[in-house]
Amino acid sequence: MTGYILAIDLGTSGPKVALVATTGAIVGCVFEPVELLLLPGGGAEQRPADWWRAITAASGRLLAETAVGRDQIVGIACTAQWSGTVAVDKSGAPLMNAIIWMDSRGAPYLRRVVGGPVRVLGYGPRKLLRWLALTGGAPARSGKDPIAHILFLKHERPEIYRRAAVFLEPKDYLNLVLTGRRAASFDSVTLHWVTDNRDPRRVAYDGTLLAMAGLERAKLPDLRRAVDVLGPLLPGPAAELGVPAGLPVVMGAPDLHSAAIGAGSVRDYAANLYVGTSSWLTCHVPFKKTDLRHNMASLPSALPGRYLLLNEQECAGACLSFLRDNLLYPDDALSVGPRPEGAYRRFDTLAAGAPPGSAGLIFTPWLYGERTPVEEHLLRGGFHNLSLKTTRADLVRAVLEGVAYNSRWLLTYVERFVGRRLDVITMAGGGANSDLWCQIYADVLGRDIRQLADPIQINVRGAGLLAAAALGLTPIEQLADHVPIARTYTPNPGAGAVYDRLFREYLRLYRATRGVYARLNRT
């Protein structure tokens, strides 16, 4: 009898809950939205209660819509947005909203921690060498890592900090709700920058790093492997989810790590391009290495004893959401009606009518700053080379192309990092639902793009397959065999020549405008 994993993927826009067969097949998946709270001074929060409400609602709908029996569910696994912080008290209750990956309010405190009388790239040299030697990276000076979130609470919410029994990543908070046990996986804890990662099989907190960071070990969770079973599902959450109590809850991994598994990119140098709200270009590598200048490093993977090259482009699909909600279909005094269903499909139809290169229009996608290949949180986006002849089709296509230009920029440094050309890249996430965007990526990158089947469900598939491996139901070395590919897109040489020229101008725009944005947005 085929077994199924109840897989939970907590994204920024809301959770997906799916039933994933141990063979990787997804028999059902339900999404529920949650609200994102953007606050003054770079704040970005969500309510943990909203997460759980949406998860239980999605689980109820999923189980009602599928024919899978409750007795066929063999385990539960979570994946979630990474680089977030939930402060919980001794009883496990959240003390405030969750601080998520977009939040930069801790930047001033983080910079004091990482700096020194003499600085290299903004870091004190001795501190930087210690971080690089042990962790493989260093805290991002943008203040968007959990180390900065905790420092923000320590300095500006001291009562919350005092009452906090533990600070947890979103994925690890969900595991606490499910099992009552406080733990982090080797991969999820990485962005606290207080663990010795030199042996990915035995990651542990380091006292020197804790002292440098100003974090208390007592307020951080114990560490487990992503493939460990954390504990049995408690009766209370089991009843709310609609599944049997006692199911094994696997530790699981953050979204970047589960996406690599869900894309089948489990062998070394098998590249995965994720295009969702944000974007990343990752692959497993057989070495520990850091490129601090371009904000990427190989860090512990969800797969035991492995390293995964990690990076993140701040805004990808978020740029399309901005185009839809703020420019083309806003709910304001000029609205002529409700936003139409299938707006993104309409975008594809419209953009297909514009020429490659959008008649010379270039969009820069830095709507919330950037993380990689440059870490500059004051960067901002824009349309460049607008004219009276610019059409709405040009605007839409330019957004698709601009996000791809940024990925090409990132690819340059990823290939330098791994020391080889990545000829084939598997594309997933909501952006991979667009045939046009897949072809644009192939043309802009000059690489074959493999479009993942069910690309928006990559993380639930990854969580399900990781759990199947953890429970001994699917061998790790066979995970790639359970990931279906819908289609492969090859570069169009004619379009490639256009994009080569515009990409060079894209880089010039970055160099020409970064100072302007820094002056306009510095507080």
Q: Is residue 246 part of a domain?
A: no
Q: Distance of CA 26 to CAs 23, 195, 221, 399, 482, Å?
A: 9, 35, 32, 31, 11
**Does residue 6 form part of some domain?**
no
Would residue 12 count as lying in a domain? Answer: no
In contact, 79 and 7? CB cutoff 8 Å? yes
* Residue 251 maps to a domain: no
Per-residue pLDDT reduced to its tens digit, 309-350: 999 999 999 999 999 999 999 988 888 788 888 899 999 999
pLDDT for position 1: 60
Answer yes or no: is 62 within a domain.
no
In a domain, 44, yes or no: no
175-214 per-position pLDDT tens digit? 999 999 999 999 999 999 999 999 999 999 999 999 999 9
Q: Which residues are 362's β-sheet partners?
A: 384
Q: Is the pLDDT of residue 124 over 90?
A: yes
Percent of the chain with pLDDT over 70: 100
Residue 394 within any structural domain of the chain: yes
Residue 236: inside a domain: no
| Structural domain count of the chain | 1
Tens digit of pLDDT for each residue in 55-77?
Answer: 999 999 999 999 999 999 999 99
* Full domain range(s) for residue 486: 83-169+179-226+257-523
Backbone angles phi, psi at 74, to 5 degrees: -110, -5
Kindly report the CATH number assigned to the domain that includes residue 363.
Answer: 3.30.420.40
How many CA atoms lie less than 13 Å away from 190 in the CB half-sphere? 32
CB atoms within 10 A of CB 344: 17
Q: Please give the mean pLDDT across all residues of the chain.
A: 95
The pTM score is 0.89
